[in-house]
Amino acid sequence: MAGKTEKKVYQVIALIVAVSVDLSLFYASGFAVFHRLLGGFAHLWLSAALRWSAVTVVSLLFLGHLKPLLIRFLTAYSLLPAVFETGTRVLYREQSQCGPGADVRCWMMFAGASLGAALFWEITIPDSQEEAGSKQQKQRSRVLFMRVVRLYRPDYALLLGGLVFLSLAVICEMFIPFYTGRVIDILGSHYKQSEFLTALLFMGLYSFGGSMSAGCRGGLLICAISSFARRIKVKLFEALTKQEIAFFETVRTGEITSRLSKDTNLTGRTVCLNVNVLLRTFLKTMGMISLMMSLSWKLTFLVLMETPITGLMQNIYDTHYQRLSQEMQDAMARTNDSANEVVFGIRVVRSFNTEKHEADRYDERLKETQSLKTRRDIVRYIYLLARRLTGLGMQVLILYYGRLFIQMGQMTTGNLVSFIIYQSDLGTNIRTLTYIFGDMLNSVMAAGKVFEYIDRKPQISMDGKRKPEQLEGRISYCGLNFAYPSNPEKTVLQDFSLELKPGQVTALVGPSGEGKSTCVSLLQRLYEPQEGEILLDGEPLKSYDHHFFHRKIAVVSQEPVLFSGSIRDNITYGLTNCSQERIEEAARKANAHDFIKTLEKGYDTEVGESGGQLSKSERQRIGIARALVREPKIVILDEITSSLDAESENKVLQGLASCPNQTLLVIAHRLKTIEKADQIVVVRRGQVEEKGTHQELMEMQGSYHKLRNELFDEVNSPK
């Protein structure tokens, strides 16, 4: 507490000493002797340097170190009188009121202006520690922005063309108000036709040039944007397809599709269009300010005084508007998700008669979105009102002072008209500049989300190199412990060990939810066990080359997913140069050939979206053919019985048994079909409870025996 008070006392003493030193120097700089000795400009700049050094040293001595905000303030504060005076003398050959002498009013004006500028800087580009989080975010935005700019490299020619036309358009547009004022002056004074026609001609030429250039600029930039969007979409898509399955389970589908469709477009469009608007507005603003200066530098300074107020208002508005927009977008994504879910599961909705319930749920989500939208719009209206009021106040001031200057002969009526046209544009331009700068930083956040996925390293590595010429197909599960990443609390497999031998059929049986499908997922490397390892021919799965491994292992899941396209496309999915004989052979083994032949277009029949034009059993058989056509070393059938009748299942198993040295893993509920398996494994609570042949397990009278009896009772129980 005492330390804090001491620090405060030091700060107050520092302030008093610095102000006294500075005031003395400021007054001394006004002494006539210095003017005579050093000349006008030299004395101004020397005094600025002296004041800067003196106040900096005093502050350093008392405070020990200087914060960036204080350095900026001191620099602006010491240099402002010199800059202001030099500018006035060079540009207008006049001396300002603060030029020859130095009084307290000038000193206070410069101090106030510097403090305002430093605070404005601090709010827009913060430096202080309290704002460190926000500063970091802005720095991150800049890095992201530069990355987007680099990604535009293939389209630099288009961008360059766009920039050239942009500059031409700005130059042309800038001169139109100037000639408007000129026409008014010509009409108002001694009318000369030649002058009038020349002014009209130039106005026409500039208008035409401006429109042409603006059109070309827009066209070139749109081309650049669409080419960029295509490139980044492909990059993102590639990155997404490499992610592990757990990623897709933890991230909502709506979020992924929104990244792919919306954020990629936003990244390309906003950055490119923002740069376009930013440059155009910046050039226009600079040009306008210099033209306005030439019309009346005093009125121009008056107009520029509005800038910090507008900037601050814009900054506050942007922060709230962006936050509410983000919340609204999230709410919209949730609304779309719920609609998608219902469309996807419309059969369930209909059969459970929950149409009304789903409509109410959708309405709830819509209400949430609507309320956020209303709040966002209210913020916008308040901002617009404040903006209009400041603009109006400024226009009244301009008219008041403009009339005074006309009376004093410092400007003509035409000049004032041109000035007012420029001023109304300038206000919009300055607002656009502040807005675009903020918006650009915010919009690159969309790019940030896209890059987050592009840069994401899949948690299951695909860096294995092993591609042996010969593969036996011996699988060993060694002491696996596993919990799904989306539910890490629940251990699904516990010290799970099992051996699958080449040329043998292993069947996993057991009650539902005990971990059979999980064994298959781990063997496919869809997930990585937390402990233990799965070996293939004695080597860890992750040491095998990703493509090699997935050519050697084929899975037919409970509900195989087909993709739109023909039956042939689906069977040969991911393969090139696959002969018709090979396709047909696989289809025969899968008991699919006969039904395909009865179709009008045979193997060229379209299966529809997700195979929707085929029955469940037909989809299943095509899924089996797709697995077998690869001639894999290891085949996994995950409860194919759920959609196949007993006859089809028997045929499929016979077909598979005819492949020599294939390791076959079957998960089955219908125990009858796996009686002939070389090894039957009962999985319970994530562990191997029993294993052996059908005969051995029946003799043991354990779990398998019990399961068989339960199923037998189920089948024979009176309906």
Ligand X SMILES: Nc1ncnc2c1ncn2[C@@H]1O[C@H](COP(=O)(O)OP(=O)(O)OP(=O)(O)O)[C@@H](O)[C@H]1O
Instruction: Give the residues lining the site for ligand X (CB under 6 A).
Output: 249, 484, 486-487, 492, 512-518
Longest dimension (CA), the chain: 122
**Minimum CB–partner distance for residue 490 and ligand X (Å):** 7
Of 210 and 515, nearer to ligand X (C-beta) is: 515
| Pair 477, 494: CB distance under 8 Å | no
State residue 707 phi and psi, 5-degree precision.
Answer: -60, -45
**Minimum CB–partner distance for residue 633 and ligand X (Å):** 23
Angle ∠(707,669,583) on CA atoms, nearest 5: 155
**Minimum CB–partner distance for residue 480 and ligand X (Å):** 12
Beta bridge partners of 691: 681
Tell me how crowded residue 695 is: count the other CB atoms within 10 A of its CB.
10
Of 427 and 515, nearer to ligand X (C-beta) is: 515
Of 488 and 660, nearer to ligand X (C-beta) is: 488
Which H or E run contains 635?
A: strand 634-638
Beta bridge partners of 682: 509, 690
**Minimum CB–partner distance for residue 529 and ligand X (Å):** 13
**Minimum CB–partner distance for residue 515 and ligand X (Å):** 4
**Minimum CB–partner distance for residue 517 and ligand X (Å):** 3
Of 564 and 687, nearer to ligand X (C-beta) is: 687
Residue partners of 259: CB distance under 8 A and separation at least 6: 236, 449, 450, 453
Angle ∠(492,495,501) on CA atoms, nearest 5: 100
Of 459 and 486, nearer to ligand X (C-beta) is: 486
**Minimum CB–partner distance for residue 677 and ligand X (Å):** 17
Of 486 and 543, nearer to ligand X (C-beta) is: 486
Which H or E run contains 7?
A: helix 2-29
SS (H, E, C) 662-716: CEEEEECCCHHHHCCCCEEEEEECCEEEEEECHHHHHHHCCHHHHHHHHHHHHHH
| Pair 210, 251: CB distance under 8 Å | no
Which H or E run contains 540?
A: strand 539-540
Tell me how crowded residue 632 is: count the other CB atoms within 10 A of its CB.
20
Of 439 and 514, nearer to ligand X (C-beta) is: 514
Amino acid, single-letter form, for residue 465 = K
Tell me the C-alpha distance between 44 and 41, whole Å. Answer: 5
Of 199 and 671, nearer to ligand X (C-beta) is: 671
Give me 72's structure tokens.
Answer: 């900026």
**Minimum CB–partner distance for residue 248 and ligand X (Å):** 10
**Minimum CB–partner distance for residue 514 and ligand X (Å):** 4
Of 172 and 697, nearer to ligand X (C-beta) is: 697
